[in-house]
Structure 1
């Protein structure tokens, strides 16, 4: 990425010095704001909580979306997914290995372009399915959340995130998933051992009791995440995000509107859409 020349001292080129410093600060704040925005969308343990496949069977499923975000390996052949292609094709979006989150709306636009490109998804029916899906506003925002979640996890594993909020969210969600997976395995063994030792007459009741325990544990994890969110709201990073939230949401909304070639909405309609999105993120 090309960088603007910053004079080493003020007195020789004062205007250039101040302009460069202002630009540097603005870019830093946008990076923080976009990364916190992504983390706020991401605050769910399961991808199924980000995208509801029951909305309309004619839209692309969560699993299909994720399968194209990820790499796919068949034998020795690897098909690069959206994340890998993005990193390879846009090294200028990384500085010293750290992703610059101000490019997130571009990443959404980039992903939409690939998913609706027959040469990428290999079949016209799949490209058409994604094209139709991107024209549905509910599906679109859910896809944005899934794209953000996968990107955050990808960057977290590369140690390429900047904000404490995003790092904490990803760490907490990954830990919750690991614990739930371990608990599931333990409970499966408990049910199996119960049946072998005490017979299978009451096995369904035992399974229901075990399932209830797991659900209670998962709800405790979700409650912990909600509490974390309240703590994050008092941090400086979140306050910076609040200052740019409408700009970010408007920018990402424009990608959806571009699909429909719609005229600009009235201010009241736009505000209502943003408020609905914000309420949905916090539920």
Structure 2
């Protein structure tokens, strides 16, 4: 599927005029900055969308899955990459194609040869038809793609890499500190001491890691981040128009998320 199949020629010409690579670099930072979270359910919380796909279910379809027989079902992410090589330039994703990726995911989830259970296809159809669910799910798919690219050292910008890697580091440290807290409570640590330790971890770990992100962005990607800030207002307009014309919605501002949830950006 091509971007031009989803939008009109005038909009496509405008995107080309801004440079696909320049816009994609800005879009990559936009996704990382807006949607990086410790847990995927902070992006797409199933409690917000009763009767629709939750983050765990959607991520299960985005990822590859190996069954008990040992056979692997390729995930939506891998299939999209394999079926759309023109969306990548020198192994780096042209992020402006995110609406096309979601259109691909939507269509694939209705493919009887891929999703064999009718009730799952129906659930997916209802989910993709919900405007706010689609906005959040697009952010989740974008984050999963950036994480995949980071593992393969194929991100376009240092700013996005700094955010993605810091978020992954935070996930690792949360697991480690959770284990420490569990052992402390198991060993009989008094409740007041336990709460103090828990509060210290929650305050210091994200602050330190986020400080590292800011230092990396300033030191390694100051110019590209300034370019992103310059393009951001126009970028948002272009992306939303692409989304409108393709009957898909891209992630909104960070404020659309529940900021009471813990994450990299507090």
C-alpha separation in 1, matches of 2:210 and 2:102:
29
Alpha-carbon distance change, 130 to 104 in structure 1, aligned in 2, over 3 angstroms = same
Question: Quick one: which of 33, 54, 60 aligns to 1:61?
Answer: 54
Residue matched to 2:5:
none
C-alpha separation in 2, matches of 1:100 and 1:256:
20
C-alpha separation in 1, matches of 2:133 and 2:212:
24
TM-score by length of 2: 0.76
User: Per-residue deviation at 1:96?
Assistant: 2.5
Question: Quick one: which of 104, 107, 130 aligns to 2:98?
Answer: 104
Structure 2 residue matching 1:235: 3-state secondary structure: helix
Q: Which runs of 5+ in 1 are unaligned?
A: 1-21, 259-273
User: Per-residue CA shift, 1:190-216, capped at 9, x if unaligned?
Assistant: 222x23xx7xxx5x6665555444443
Query: 2:159–2:225: 8 Å Cα contact kept in structure 1?
Result: no
Aligned length: 239
Question: Quick one: which of 22, 32, 35 aligns to 2:25?
Answer: 32
User: Per-residue deviation at 1:124?
Assistant: 1.1
Q: Does 1:242 align with 2:233?
A: yes
Residue matched to 1:43:
36
User: Per-residue deviation at 1:67?
Assistant: 0.2
Residue matched to 1:15:
none
RMSD: 3.3
User: Per-residue deviation at 1:218?
Assistant: 5.8
Residue matched to 1:132:
126
C-alpha separation in 1, matches of 2:90 and 2:100:
20
User: Per-residue deviation at 1:45?
Assistant: 2.1
Alpha-carbon distance change, 255 to 97 in structure 1, aligned in 2, over 3 angstroms = same
User: Per-residue deviation at 1:64?
Assistant: 0.5
Structure 1 residue matching 2:66: 3-state secondary structure: strand
C-alpha separation in 2, matches of 1:94 and 1:181:
34
Q: Does 1:278 align with 2:265?
A: no
Structure 2 residue matching 1:160: 3-state secondary structure: coil
User: Per-residue deviation at 1:226?
Assistant: 9.7
Structure 2 residue matching 1:122: 3-state secondary structure: coil
User: Per-residue CA shift, 1:101-133, capped at 9, x if unaligned?
Assistant: 232221111111112333322211111111111
Residue matched to 1:216:
203
Q: Does 1:185 align with 2:190?
A: no
Residue matched to 1:146:
140
